[in-house]
Structure 1
Amino acid sequence: MGSCGQHTDGSWGEGHVCARTRIPWGRDFEEGDWTVPTVGLVTAGGDCPGTNAAIRGVVARLDAAGWKVIGVEKGWKGLMEGKTRPLTRDSVRGIIGRGGTILGSSRLDPYVHGNGYESIRPTVEAAGIDSLVVIGGDGSLRSAAKLAEEGLKVVGIPKTIDNDIGGTDVTFGFHTAVQVVTDAIDRLTTTAEAHDRIMVVETMGRTAGWIAAYAGIAGGAEIIVVPEIPYDIEEIAERIRARHDAGRTYSLVVVAEGIPTERGFVTSGIDAFGFERLGGAGEVVAKELERLTGYEARTVTLGHLQRGGSPTAFDRVLATRMGLHAAELTLQGKSSVMVAVRGTRMTDVDILEACNEPRPLEPEVFAEAAWFFARA
């Protein structure tokens, strides 16, 4: 369905040359090829530290291969509305340390807010786009997989601070978010100690407690509460009372936004994909702990601070490598695959398999954190 047809069995094949435009799938562009291959680059969904580093990696490799890269502005919205601009090696210089995305993003989606491929067809054809590289979270990658099913070649790069996308050991942005939360815990510990308070820190994490667990360990939290592990608020209160009775009259509690409370899941509306927007679980936990212990409890919800700012060195390198690998997969003519990390090695997996279920926090990580919890 894209600007180049597939084999009848849906495959492209190593070194395949498009019959209509003679695109050299599987190798760099060379003199004598009829048409310069064109790749659309989309950053969709929530922003995430490291996205610009990934953009830089994709563009650098494809530009070196002689392929054209068209940046799509404002995510799927730009692809639906025809907002694009060319990207070259020169245009992505100096962006590796910048937060956000130079292309912008949005919460629009061609399948939620449009008619799938038909919603983006005019832009794809006008820009001469032969394939897409989509940098996005699970929702954006599911839409990318649907576009691949309709015939447009797509390679995905997972992007989320939550670290909860299946098929990969880690996503860029997670390390930066953990560092931001850890820095906050370090600062909040001093004020909690000064005023003999319980300080409840709420982190992002809809279904997975990776950020809460890692930052809680790094920051020395007395209690960590995550969506994957049931908790008893009265047991937590008892642990904190025992800690205070022993002379340690302050406590740091880290909770993920997706934990259930006595009021169920705490929400503040519906997002663009139809999911409930989470937030406020920390406040509920703080009020309950204050009621049960009699100690003053305060809440700090870090929210979008975890998304913003410059990525750590680790995330800059990881995102760069993922961008380069996505470009290699594109040069090979692969489609409906997502870049994945296995240990320190880059590989690829089927997009839909990766996005079918969120990747939960590994139980052993929580068990390791629990060794440092306040004791009743």
Structure 2
Amino acid sequence: MAGIKRIGVLTSGGDCAGLNAIIRAVVQRAVDEYGWHVVGIHKGTAGLLSRPVEAETLDLSRFDGALLRRAGTVLGTTNKGDPFAFPMPDGRVVDRSDEIVEGLKELGIDALIGIGGDGSLAILERLCKQAGLPLIGIPKTIDNDVARTEVAVGYSTAVEVATDALDHLQPTAASHDRVMVLEVMGRDAGHIALSAGIAGGADIILIPEIPWDPDSLARKIEDLRRQDRNFALVVVAEAVRREDGDPVGRTREGGKVLYGGIGHYVGERLGEMTGAEVRVTVLGHVQRGGTPVARDRLIASIFGVHAVDLVAQGQDSMMVAWEGRSVTGVPLSQIIDQPHQVDPQGALVKAARGLGICLGD
């Protein structure tokens, strides 16, 4: 794109494995191929609210191969404070978007590459339109719930962590005749639970897309006992609701539910109904950290390079996506408020059923 000399990059929303690999790819492609300057914005939109803006020029000397192996993000991130409805210390909610637009202009960038989930990318699109600045988004989320892309950065590592946890739980479950319940992340979708459950040999997998019945779980435990199995592995996504439809967690100001506790709830129900000795493990943020697995490093590198190329092509309001074993760009309008959830009739669900895994229904 004619006139591009300086681009910005930031990470927004929750952290995950592979973010540094994206940043590295963006810097290497922009500097090596196009001769651009790259500005790394610290702490996502929070860095743009600071004065002076919290940012630094990123050069190749910092981005050797070691960065591929680092979890988290060297730029920092935030998942708080919608700039269009920003909570103030005195309880007021104000629109601070103009301040962020001023921050973007202060940096003198010609385009922005934003790395985030669908919520973060929706906010960044509004801000960039307000600033008259082209935006290219890169999807990252361990939940893998961004529409129009088969995989998002961070998902593969999260599945690996959850699968590894099941590998560790199985021997102790068998040694002590126990039912082991593993609660994994998955705010809007059950992708982690389903994939890790299949890979880790779970007997029961509960995901938010499929309502569950406690009697179905109890029958599965009894079936295993009749097969002379003395243990069971259960995987539960954090967003699974109780059988009455109520979420498990605590409600934040504004009505958003902070999930957590469904694993213990399911464990208690199983113990009551089957008499089994049950233990519960909640992985929580362990799934976000750790060394990125090879697939996340690969996808991150491909996405970072392609995002820079889309900027060079003059594209705007686009997101990099993986579709049909190839990288492409899709309009951000097609991914906002359209979460990619597990298809109850999809291949993974059919495989789980074919393996005799109970999905709770």
Percentage of matched positions with identical amino acids: 42
Is residue 2:351 matched to residue 1:373?
no
Pair member with larger Rg? 1
Size of the alignment, in residue pairs?
A: 343
Q: 2:211·2:243 contact (CA, 8 Å) conserved in 1? A: no
Q: 1:131·1:152 contact (CA, 8 Å) conserved in 2? A: yes
Is residue 2:281 matched to residue 1:292?
no
Is residue 2:76 matched to residue 1:95?
no
Q: 1:220·1:372 contact (CA, 8 Å) conserved in 2? A: no
Deviation, 1:269, is: 4.0
In the other structure, the counterpart of 2:38 is 69
List aligned pairs for 1:204-215, cutoff 5 A: 204-215=185-196
Is residue 2:19 matched to residue 1:48?
no
Q: 2:212·2:243 contact (CA, 8 Å) conserved in 1? A: no
Deviation, 1:246, is: 2.8
In the other structure, the counterpart of 2:252 is 270
* Aligned match for 2:82, one of 96, 101, 109: 109
Residue 355 of structure 1 aligns to a residue whose secondary structure is coil
Residue 39 of structure 1 aligns to a residue whose secondary structure is strand
Deviation, 1:127, is: 1.5
In the other structure, the counterpart of 1:80 is 49
Query: AA paired with 2:67?
Result: I
In the other structure, the counterpart of 1:246 is 227
Residue 316 of structure 1 aligns to a residue whose secondary structure is helix
**Cα distance in 2 between the residues matched to 1:63 and 1:79:** 23
Q: Which moved more, 1:187-196 or 1:123-132?
A: 123-132
**Cα distance in 1 between the residues matched to 2:84 and 2:350:** 40
Deviations 1:207-236 (A, max 9, x none): 211100110000000011111112111111
In the other structure, the counterpart of 2:110 is 130
Is residue 2:240 matched to residue 1:259?
yes
Deviation, 1:275, is: 2.7
Deviation, 1:314, is: 1.0
Deviations 1:244-277 (A, max 9, x none): 2331011001010111114611113438x86311
* Structure 2: segments with no counterpart, 5+ residues: 87-93
**Cα distance in 1 between the residues matched to 2:328 and 2:243:** 42
Is residue 2:6 matched to residue 1:38?
yes
Q: 1:267 to 1:352 in 2, by over 3 A?
A: farther
Q: So what's the TM-score if we normalise by structure 2?
A: 0.91
**Cα distance in 2 between the residues matched to 1:309 and 1:168:** 23
Q: 2:205·2:357 contact (CA, 8 Å) conserved in 1? A: no
Cα RMSD after superposing both structures: 1.8
Deviation, 1:148, is: 3.5
Q: Which moved more, 1:228-237 or 1:255-264?
A: 255-264
Q: 1:374 to 1:141 in 2, by over 3 A?
A: closer
Q: So what's the TM-score if we normalise by structure 1?
A: 0.87
List aligned pairs for 1:1-376, cutoff 5 A: 15=1, 17=2, 23-24=3-4, 37-64=5-32, 65-81=34-50, 82-93=53-64, 94-107=66-79, 108-113=81-86, 115=95, 117-150=97-130, 151-262=132-243, 264-270=246-252, 275-362=256-343, 363-364=345-346, 365-373=348-356
Query: AA paired with 1:91?
Result: R
Q: 2:136·2:318 contact (CA, 8 Å) conserved in 1? A: yes
Query: AA paired with 1:289?
Result: L
Residue 358 of structure 1 aligns to a residue whose secondary structure is coil
**Cα distance in 2 between the residues matched to 1:262 and 1:232:** 6
Residue 347 of structure 1 aligns to a residue whose secondary structure is strand
In the other structure, the counterpart of 1:4 is none
**Cα distance in 2 between the residues matched to 1:161 and 1:116:** 29
**Cα distance in 2 between the residues matched to 1:116 and 1:312:** 38
* Structure 1: segments with no counterpart, 5+ residues: 1-14, 18-22, 25-36
Q: 2:71·2:292 contact (CA, 8 Å) conserved in 1? A: yes
Deviation, 1:116, is: 5.4
Q: 1:116·1:147 contact (CA, 8 Å) conserved in 2? A: no
